[in-house]
Every structure is written in structure tokens, then in C-alpha cells.
């Protein structure tokens, strides 16, 4: 009898499997410095088992997004490490070379930064149970003073 009451209560309140209402915030750590990621396009599912809503947000490309924010100065050689408030199930990092050309640099949360000085635009793509999201970070690599 208790089980039936529990089942009815669960059905009336809705089975909520979604843990997050929106994509989590993320950051990149380089040389003990934490740099916030800019959220880009995403598709996110919210609601309960019986009433789900999918939110789709379009955004500028990573190259365009980076043009609207000053690149963060970092020293090389260094590794970059991505972290999120909630860990994604899948994660890829792409280096954007132009508006139409990019290359995969990592299928995990760490990658090695280039040794050559210059400005580099990275896109971080994460996938969670609730959806997927794209993030951008622009880094200006400066050679180490050593």
C-alpha cells in the first residue's frame, strides 16, 4: 500500500531526471590562473518526465565571440585544464584557425598550449544528460620570461 502511495505521489509531482536548469558555468585554468568560459550556443532540456521543454539558443561563432572580448594573456609553455560546476559526460576542445577552419585538440579536459606567441581561440563542447553546450575562450600566448 505504501508503495502505491509513493508511486501515485511520484506521478503527480512528475519524475524529475534533469539536474540542471541551464548549462553549467565553466572555466579554464592556465598557470594557476582561472579564466571564465563564455557560453555560446546550446540545447538544453528542462522540466519533468511528463512536461519537458527544450531550449535552443543560437550564438555567434567562437571567432566572432572572441572578437567581442579581449584575449586573456597567458605564458607558454603551459597546459590548459577545463572544469565545470557539473562534470560533462563528453568533452571536446577545438582550436579555431579561421571562421571555417578548426581542429580537434583534445577529447578530454586538458590540452597543451602552443609554444608560439599569438592569439588562439578555443571552443569547448560539453555534453550532459540535460543537453549540450558550446563555450569559447580566447588566449593570448606570450613566451615565458625564463
Q: Sorting pLDDT into bands at 50, 70 and 90, what band is 144?
A: confident
| 21-55 tens-digit pLDDT | 899 999 999 999 999 999 999 999 988 777 889 99
Q: Of 3.55.40.20, 3.40.640.10, 3.30.460.10, 2.60.40.10, which CATH number belongs to 17-143?
A: 2.60.40.10
pLDDT value, residue 146? 57
| 114-132 tens-digit pLDDT | 999 999 999 999 999 999 9
Q: Sorting pLDDT into bands at 50, 70 and 90, what band is 20?
A: confident
First to last CA, the chain: 73
* pTM of the model as a whole: 0.84
3-state secondary structure of 111: strand
- Give the helix ranges, DSSP H, for 42-102: 62-67
The CA R_g of the chain, rounded to the nearest whole Å, is: 19
DSSP string, 55-78: EEE----HHHHHHTSPPEEEEES-
- Give the helix ranges, DSSP H, for 18-136: 62-67
pLDDT value, residue 1? 61
Q: Between β-strands 72-76 and 131-143, what pairing exists: parallel, antiparallel or unpaired?
A: parallel
Give the domain ranges of the chain.
17-143
Cell numbers representing residue 39 in the block: 557560453
Cell numbers representing residue 22 in the block: 541551464
| 49-80 tens-digit pLDDT | 778 899 999 999 999 999 999 999 999 889 99
Amino acid at each position: 500500500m505504501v508503495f502505491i502511495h509513493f508511486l501515485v505521489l511520484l506521478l503527480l509531482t512528475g519524475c524529475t531526471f534533469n539536474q540542471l536548469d541551464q548549462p553549467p558555468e565553466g572555466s579554464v585554468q592556465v598557470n594557476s590562473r582561472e579564466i571564465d568560459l563564455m557560453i555560446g550556443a546550446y540545447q538544453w532540456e528542462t522540466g519533468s518526465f511528463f512536461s519537458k521543454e527544450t531550449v535552443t539558443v543560437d550564438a555567434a561563432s567562437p571567432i566572432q565571440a572572441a572578437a567581442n572580448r579581449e584575449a586573456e594573456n597567458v605564458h607558454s609553455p603551459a597546459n590548459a585544464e577545463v572544469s565545470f560546476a557539473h562534470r560533462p559526460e563528453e568533452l571536446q576542445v577545438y582550436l579555431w584557425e579561421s571562421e571555417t577552419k578548426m581542429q580537434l585538440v583534445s577529447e578530454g579536459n586538458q590540452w597543451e598550449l602552443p609554444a608560439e606567441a599569438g592569439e588562439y581561440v578555443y571552443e569547448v563542447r560539453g555534453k550532459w544528460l540535460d543537453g549540450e553546450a558550446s563555450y569559447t575562450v580566447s588566449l593570448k600566448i606570450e613566451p615565458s620570461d625564463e
